Structure 1
């Protein structure tokens, strides 16, 4: 009877020892998991959670987000992911636009010295003179505003070239202007001058920056215009804007094109 009791106690002690081993193993495993980096579709994770897409399906899907509502996800101060309709600090960048069409400004169409008024339309932006703003065809973009509190930044640049195989001498200068029109109204303009350097096909670069705030919700159109102002000396040839001059071959359309860039932020 004593031997049976001894064997029973030994069996009980063995079970307790096994249970302790299992318990410590579970604790160690849980601790290791909390420290480990987890990889999905990768055997070499670089972060605590590293997901590698298979190239055919979206790599992550979250359903049943309860807090908030809307189509946007944000992270609150506690690190919790929520859906939201708030677009504050949401930035956007439109694809760049470049022109492949041609614009030549003639001396007969120049406007003379003049000032430009903000929010004026192309037809009434220039006085005196018989010339007017001429649109650089193809250099335009349309943006769709989804929140009324916003700031839009617009930048455009390109090349100008004097259209003559004869040298443009140092006493020859042509002044011109480039304007940014938003929904048909002038919001930014800069005046420039190209002067002779003794070579044919004289070139120069122009660029204009514009900004607008709190555009109404909906579609808006941005267009770029140019105008010729004054001519000094015998610089009577045409002025090529965002295109190479036909009379010389030192510039091509790739080099001369205008590029329009638009970005913004919702506040």
Structure 2
């Protein structure tokens, strides 16, 4: 009988008071429980669209919609990963039609290429290199154990004359940089051919391991390294046309970035 009377008084207090606190003298909501709650049955939430009560489905959680709105049930999915295996976590591709051009006077002053072109060299130490603007992009890394792959493609052209004797050609180089540090470089030579304004396709693949966690800036920069028996008006164009026999659509550049990681951070997905 005492228990029944106590329950009646408690229920009466709930109906008469705007705020009720359990183990607290200053409740901050209509019901404020300072301690553990043991639920032996179910939780239901009002569905405002049809005014029904929903108890959710198995493995769902309650998610707040903000002040003044009832919470809703959401499904929580956590990706399953096998330990010590690499997974593709980030991938993106970028393109550029602007490219870079080099006149005869914009040749790089680098002479000792074997010492200048080393992994980790800062772009500021490589005079004459120009970035291809549209390929400078941010990427994200979430694990300390990662492998990042790069695939760069473009077209290189110069307004060279029809080839004669001796050979006419231009040396150039393109580098892939992460946070302005060189991670991959390829040098090539563009030769004059039997047709004027010759062009070639340039392909380049690079890899860097274990970038630090966080955001990094990836870029591609190229340089004119040397010219052999070229006229003073010969322009080297990378990712853009130097003459009208091809156009900017044909010469456009692309960069593909794939980041494989051994996952260390698990980001749940809520539907």
**TM-score, normalized by the shorter chain, greater than 0.5:** yes
Count of paired positions: 187
Distance 1:62 1:150 in 2: 37
Greater relative contact order structure (CA < 8 Å, 6+ sep): 2
Q: 1:64 aligns with which of 51, 59, 63?
A: 59
**Pair 1:101 & 2:107 matched:** no
Output aligned runs, 1:160-179, within 5 Å.
160-163=156-159, 166-169=161-164, 171-179=167-175
RMSD (Å) for aligned C-alpha atoms: 2.6
TM superposition score normalised by structure 2: 0.62
Distance 1:254 1:197 in 2: 22
- For structure 2, the residue ranges without an aligned partner over 5 or more in a row are 1-55, 61-75, 263-271
Distance 1:141 1:203 in 2: 27
Output aligned runs, 1:64-143, within 5 Å.
64=59, 72-74=78-80, 88-111=85-108, 113=111, 114-115=113-114, 116-125=117-126, 131-143=127-139
Distance 1:103 1:222 in 2: 17
TM superposition score normalised by structure 1: 0.63
Point out the structure with the larger helix share. Answer: 1
Call closer, same or farther: CA 1:89–1:232 in 2, change over 3 Å: same
Q: CA deviation at 1:90?
A: 2.1
Distance 1:149 1:71 in 2: 24
Distance 1:254 1:242 in 2: 9
Whether the 8 Å CA contact 1:140–1:260 is kept in 2: the answer is no
Residue 40 of structure 1 is matched in structure 2 by: none
Residue 266 of structure 1 is matched in structure 2 by: 261
Distance 1:98 1:87 in 2: 33
Deviations 1:178-206 (A, max 9, x none): 00010110111010000011211100111
Give every structure 1 segment of 4 or more consecutive aligned residues whose post-TM-superposition deviation is greater than 4 Å.
none
- For structure 1, the residue ranges without an aligned partner over 5 or more in a row are 1-60, 77-85, 126-130
Distance 1:136 1:75 in 2: 37
